[in-house]
Structure 1
Amino acid sequence: MSESVLEEIFIKRSQQKKKTSPLNYKERWFVLTQEKIAYYDFDADKRKRKGMRGSVDMEKIKCVETVQPEPNSPQERMYAFQIIYDEGPLYIFAKNEDVRAQWIKKLKEIVCYNKDFMQKYHPCFWADGIWLCCKQEVKQAMGCKVWDSKNGFRSKASQRGSGKPLPPTPTEEKTVRPLPPQPPETPSPSAGMTVIAEYNYAPMTSQDLELKKDEEYTILEMTDHNWWKARDKYGSEGYIPCNYVVEAENGLERFDWYSKNMNRSQAEKLLKTENKDGGFLVRDSSKAGKYTVSLLSKGVGDTGGICKHYNICTTAQSQYYLAERHFFSTIPELINYHQHNAAGMVSRLKYIVSNRALHPSTAGLGYGLWEINPRNLTFIKELGTGQFGVVKYGKWQGKHDVAIKMIKEGSMSEDDFIEEAKIMMKLRHENLVQLYGVCTKQRPIYIVTEFLSNGCLQMYLREGLTQHPTAVQLLEMCKDVSEGMAYLESQQYIHRDLAARNCLVDGNGTVKVTDFGLSRYVLDDEYTSSAGSKFPVRWSPPEVLLYCKFSSKSDIWAYGILLWEVYTLGRLPYERLNNNEIVDQVTRGLRLFRPQLANDKVYSIMSSCWLDKADERPTFQELALSIQDVLYELQ
């Protein structure tokens, strides 16, 4: 265990991750290390720490700052500070100003080189559904005070000198074109660290460095969010995709039995394809921060076998165990034990089944490459025709699968899109279709993206999916889309045309969102006006149908319709109504019925997307957590 930097007993406010969670204040023993801040139960009489109640990894922290006390706060809650990370603010109350200042100073020292820092924060509490400082009613709303990771507030002079304007607080009226997270301006403390390649990587450009699986590399620079400069053991230097490596001696990624970002259905498919009794892998559970062992068991004469899934449980003392209470300090120790002992499972873990051959997508086809030479593209077959023109499957440099959109002239505001493409290429998430680059030196221009072999989700639901999909399969599709959209939401991107037809499915069954933001560049009046037959009326909320008022909340409405598409296996929403009838009836309160395959909990999630008031609809982050909870219950 890492050595503690600071330890203190603080009062912690509950985080209320769910809307129904009660608000309470409890004393916890906080321990700060270089890797995380954790909090524990404790025995006050013996001054002894007990079970861990929660933790936040240092690398996930986006802001550390004081919080102004609420009116009439008791004395013990006068010295609050906040730690903001992906799941929201963690509010902590110190005993006095000196202790608070000490912890804030140390936390800022540790996280000062983190990526994805917030530029604004809320100086007051979120309470009773409102930010007390700026009165905004959306919990994920951008802050109202400028934050500096090292020195508190930026001065006006430093704002002018930076050359980087601060983003305005978003409103429903105006959508700001976002930028992806900017890399730190100073060298990261992780420059110089040793990493291990999880995958082979062949250089795409002269600036790239070859990666060989399981070999070590030294990181030299991390100034690009997606591409790091590295050196191999022979002294060669170049750029590598950051998602192809993992820090040495850190995390489960070092082990072939760990399959990151794999869901239950994909695990079962992989295990049954391998078809070995005792074949196993470890994957992320549907519950964030938890892990599951998936195991194939075959009886005598059994050709198919059955898959069992065992959640890796933890004790109050942070030890791990599986089916029986054999406790281990680490997950690798647990796996090693069960490779030799079934200990309550249907079989011991006999054979490692790995998906490491499936390379993740890179942000672009090589470092700094966004303008692609069309001579390097080979067209193989037509995939279909979209809003902007023909889409073809092809190869880049004769070996890399790509999809190529050939933009028909007059369909797109090309100059605006080309400028945007440089930003869009930096967006990278496992549930977004990766933009690799563009060909803009000739007409028609091409948009080159990741190729997904199972095509669009709409047709996959209608034709490619088994006739009897499981509840887990359907829910995992919805979870994939919610997580891709939550990432776009975090970047302040509005899709504007979210639907099953604008999601694609890869060969592993993962669903990815595509064409995000492209509707802004459509020149077709019939498409851009809600009166036109091409406009996505069936996926649009009342505020878009009546006022063309787009926001992240109009994407939430469309996501609810997409859920309905998934649970009806690709049926057309409001199939008996024409566009004019839909506008009239939806604005009067008509909503889609509950599909037969959707249980009450799933339909409740759908319905929450279709609330009349946009502000009352959940965020994608909240939807992803709700789906995660239902999925965890099924497992």
Structure 2
Amino acid sequence: MILSSYNTIQSIFCCCCCCSVQKRQVRTQISLGQDGGLSEKHTQRHRPRGSELSSRKQSNRGCVQPSKRKPLPPLPPSEGAEEKIRVKALYDFLPKEPCNLELKRSEEYLILEKYNPHWWKARDRMGNEGLIPSNYVTENKITNLEIYEWYHRNITRNQAERLLRQESKEGAFIVRDSRHLGSYTISVFIRARRSTEATIKHYQIKRNDSGRWYVAERHLFQSVPELIWYHQHNAAGLLTRLRYPVGLMGSCLPATAGFSYEKWEIDPSELAFIKEIGSGQFGVVHLGEWRAHVQVAIKAINEGSMSEEDFIEEAKVMMKLSHSKLVQLYGVCTQRKPLYIVTEFMENGCLLHYLRERKGKLRKEMLLSVCQDVCEGMEFLERNCYIHRDLAARNCLVSSTCIVKISDFGMTRYVLDDEYISSSGAKFPIKWSPPEVFHFNKYSSKSDVWSFGVLMWEVFTEGKMPFENKSNLEVVEAISKGFRLYRPHLAPMCIYEVMYSCWHEKPKGRPPFAELLQTLTEIAETW
């Protein structure tokens, strides 16, 4: 039997300038042994802590109500807590302004802030900070295919073949997006054998139900980079192993959205005029240089030909339309007359002249690739709710690598020449216009689709004039009665069907550009 009693012992402690009294409980246990004697133990009872204290209070006081105090709200995340994105430079970038940061191809950078979709603030390994063009970098993750030299996202089958033929090495290869969403294609160069010419094989990279990638079903991989690495060392079902990755990284620098962040006004003293390269609806076009190192095209706008104030406001929006298949607007010069429009320079000039100069020399695969480039750019404009209004071969330009880009989108809105906007005027693009435009002046992405069908016709006729023997008035009458352009002899029926679908009388009956692009891609993969 154990008898317990509690005694209180007071002990006094001094702390700094004040004294406190701490009470210490000592428990006296009196044990009654079997022999009837008494023994006494003293144990120090420590001050209970945490949950021990809570449970003891409940046992001493009976049933105690739980605390009704609400838990404290979580602390807000600190500014530095957000995970920074690490990127890899795809191209070299030389600073154009003091606020820019130099990029070196293949090096890693830390993104500090995304000012807008086109310009980001970054830091290099040395701690230097500045603005960089977002289309010059990609997220540095092993699963991100863009960090690999062999991957080409925006490339057609024909462009892939042309690239590999230029390399002309056994096993030279690239990986590109397939026409099937979420899958890829390996294009590989096979050297000439005794009985066969050099050829290019296309192998589809597929994914099985368990999410593993393969070319040959016996060899499965968790990721596309693992698959490519394996086939670089083992043919394993391919005609040759993948020996030489062919890349565009660093060789063809993309245009930036303006020369720097929100720099749309360009000082004319920074422009040098080299030579006249053409003339357009608004005035003379020159090849020039900005700050003596960036090649540009400079359009001098004739006074009275354009509503300049409206255009200057629109230019701020147009600069933000940045895409690999659009001619980039760098800025405008408004400080003196005439007004200058400064754009990306395209070495091979106007698409219409390009087609006519190479008549009989362009394979149908190349002609289809031209249409794919234009369709890709128009799909971007459609997605961003931007209407071109004057899509035609004359308003597309060709780069040094034979990539076609759309130019002068939206410019017709600022023309002051009444003859141009009149359905009876010779300058009005009647032959590229649908009924709702020449009857009611009603523009939309679907009116651009009609014009795209006519552009395809221009491409597959190698630059012929549509309705060449008809006046504008006769064209209006013929189109209104259901007459359409004939099938060019270079265009297979599947291509003509795409053109014809663009010429539906009702805008709603015409396919969107996204659908057209998918159709053209599927055709290209089967040729």
Do the aligned residues in 1 keep the contact of 2:420 with 2:428 (CA within 8 Å)? yes
Separation in 1, partners of 2:275, 2:161: 31
Gaps of 5+ in 2: 1-78
Match of 2:458 in 1: 565
Separation in 1, partners of 2:295, 2:359: 23
Do the aligned residues in 2 keep the contact of 1:370 with 1:436 (CA within 8 Å)? yes
Structure 1 counterpart of 2:325, from 428, 431, 440: 431
Match of 2:232 in 1: 339
Match of 1:234 in 2: 126
- 1:626 is displaced (CA, Å) by 2.1
Do the aligned residues in 2 keep the contact of 1:363 with 1:435 (CA within 8 Å)? yes
Q: Describe the SS at the equivalent of 2:175.
A: strand
Q: Describe the SS at the equivalent of 1:312.
A: strand
Separation in 2, partners of 1:188, 1:434: 35
Match of 2:20 in 1: none
Tell me whether 1:389 sits opposite 2:283 in the alignment.
Answer: yes
- CA deviations 1:313-333 (Å, max 9, x no partner) are 222222222256422111111
- CA deviations 1:201-247 (Å, max 9, x no partner) are 11111111111112111111113121011111111111111111111
Structure 1 counterpart of 2:446, from 553, 568, 573: 553
- CA deviations 1:243-263 (Å, max 9, x no partner) are 111112141111111123122
Q: Describe the SS at the equivalent of 2:101.
A: coil
Q: Describe the SS at the equivalent of 1:379.
A: strand
Separation in 1, partners of 2:191, 2:297: 40
Separation in 2, partners of 1:303, 1:278: 16
Separation in 2, partners of 1:375, 1:188: 42
Match of 1:467 in 2: 361
- CA deviations 1:105-148 (Å, max 9, x no partner) are xxxxxxxxxxxxxxxxxxxxxxxxxxxxxxxxxxxxxxxxxxxx
Structure 2 counterpart of 1:507, from 387, 393, 400: 400
Separation in 1, partners of 2:337, 2:465: 35
Do the aligned residues in 2 keep the contact of 1:504 with 1:511 (CA within 8 Å)? yes
Structure 1 counterpart of 2:348, from 454, 457, 462: 454
Task: Go from structure 1 to structure 2 and tell me whether the alpha carbon gap of 1:468 and 1:416 turns closer, same or farther (over 3 Å shift).
Answer: closer
Task: Go from structure 1 to structure 2 and tell me whether the alpha carbon gap of 1:420 and 1:334 turns closer, same or farther (over 3 Å shift).
Answer: same
- CA deviations 1:276-314 (Å, max 9, x no partner) are 222112122244432221211224699983222222122
Larger Rg: 2
Match of 2:201 in 1: 308
Match of 1:206 in 2: 98
Deviation above 4 Å: which 4+ runs of structure 1? 187-191, 300-304
Match of 1:195 in 2: 87
The TM-score with structure 2 as length reference comes to 0.81
Match of 1:327 in 2: 220
Structure 1 counterpart of 2:311, from 417, 420, 428: 417
Structure 2 counterpart of 1:257, from 150, 153, 164: 150
Match of 1:247 in 2: 139
Separation in 1, partners of 2:252, 2:169: 20
Structure 2 counterpart of 1:524, from 409, 417, 427: 417
Do the aligned residues in 1 keep the contact of 2:159 with 2:369 (CA within 8 Å)? no
Q: Describe the SS at the equivalent of 1:203.
A: coil
Do the aligned residues in 2 keep the contact of 1:324 with 1:344 (CA within 8 Å)? no
Task: Go from structure 1 to structure 2 and tell me whether the alpha carbon gap of 1:189 and 1:538 turns closer, same or farther (over 3 Å shift).
Answer: farther
Do the aligned residues in 2 keep the contact of 1:284 with 1:292 (CA within 8 Å)? yes
Tell me whether 1:380 sits opposite 2:279 in the alignment.
Answer: no
Match of 2:177 in 1: 284
Comparing 364-373 with 198-207, which one deviates more in the overlay? 364-373
Do the aligned residues in 2 keep the contact of 1:482 with 1:620 (CA within 8 Å)? yes
- Identity fraction in percent: 52
- Give the superposed CA RMSD: 2.1
Task: Go from structure 1 to structure 2 and tell me whether the alpha carbon gap of 1:433 and 1:288 turns closer, same or farther (over 3 Å shift).
Answer: farther
- 1:346 is displaced (CA, Å) by 2.2
Tell me whether 1:405 sits opposite 2:287 in the alignment.
Answer: no
Do the aligned residues in 2 keep the contact of 1:229 with 1:237 (CA within 8 Å)? yes
Pairing of 1:12-91 with structure 2 (within 5 A): none
Task: Go from structure 1 to structure 2 and tell me whether the alpha carbon gap of 1:265 and 1:628 turns closer, same or farther (over 3 Å shift).
Answer: closer
Separation in 2, partners of 1:551, 1:200: 39
Match of 1:489 in 2: 382
- CA deviations 1:346-368 (Å, max 9, x no partner) are 22111121111212211111223
Gaps of 5+ in 1: 1-186
Corresponding residue pairs, total: 447
Match of 1:365 in 2: 259
Separation in 2, partners of 1:189, 1:504: 46
Separation in 2, partners of 1:512, 1:598: 22
- 1:448 is displaced (CA, Å) by 0.8
Task: Go from structure 1 to structure 2 and tell me whether the alpha carbon gap of 1:322 and 1:597 turns closer, same or farther (over 3 Å shift).
Answer: same
Match of 1:350 in 2: 243
Match of 2:7 in 1: none
Q: Describe the SS at the equivalent of 2:382.
A: helix
- CA deviations 1:581-629 (Å, max 9, x no partner) are 1111111211111112222222222111111112222221222222223
Tell me whether 1:218 sits opposite 2:105 in the alignment.
Answer: no
- 1:265 is displaced (CA, Å) by 2.1
The TM-score with structure 1 as length reference comes to 0.68
Separation in 2, partners of 1:277, 1:466: 30
Q: Describe the SS at the equivalent of 1:422.
A: helix
Match of 1:9 in 2: none
Q: Describe the SS at the equivalent of 2:376.
A: helix
Tell me whether 1:581 sits opposite 2:482 in the alignment.
Answer: no
Do the aligned residues in 1 keep the contact of 2:213 with 2:222 (CA within 8 Å)? yes
Match of 2:27 in 1: none
Separation in 1, partners of 2:338, 2:392: 26
Task: Go from structure 1 to structure 2 and tell me whether the alpha carbon gap of 1:188 and 1:398 turns closer, same or farther (over 3 Å shift).
Answer: farther
Do the aligned residues in 1 keep the contact of 2:449 with 2:510 (CA within 8 Å)? yes
- CA deviations 1:503-557 (Å, max 9, x no partner) are 1111222211110000000011111111100000100111111222222221111
Counterpart code for 2:261: Y
Do the aligned residues in 2 keep the contact of 1:205 with 1:367 (CA within 8 Å)? no
- 1:190 is displaced (CA, Å) by 7.4
Counterpart code for 2:317: I
Separation in 1, partners of 2:384, 2:305: 26
Separation in 2, partners of 1:188, 1:260: 33
Counterpart code for 1:307: I
Match of 2:71 in 1: none
Structure 2 counterpart of 1:612, from 505, 516, 521: 505
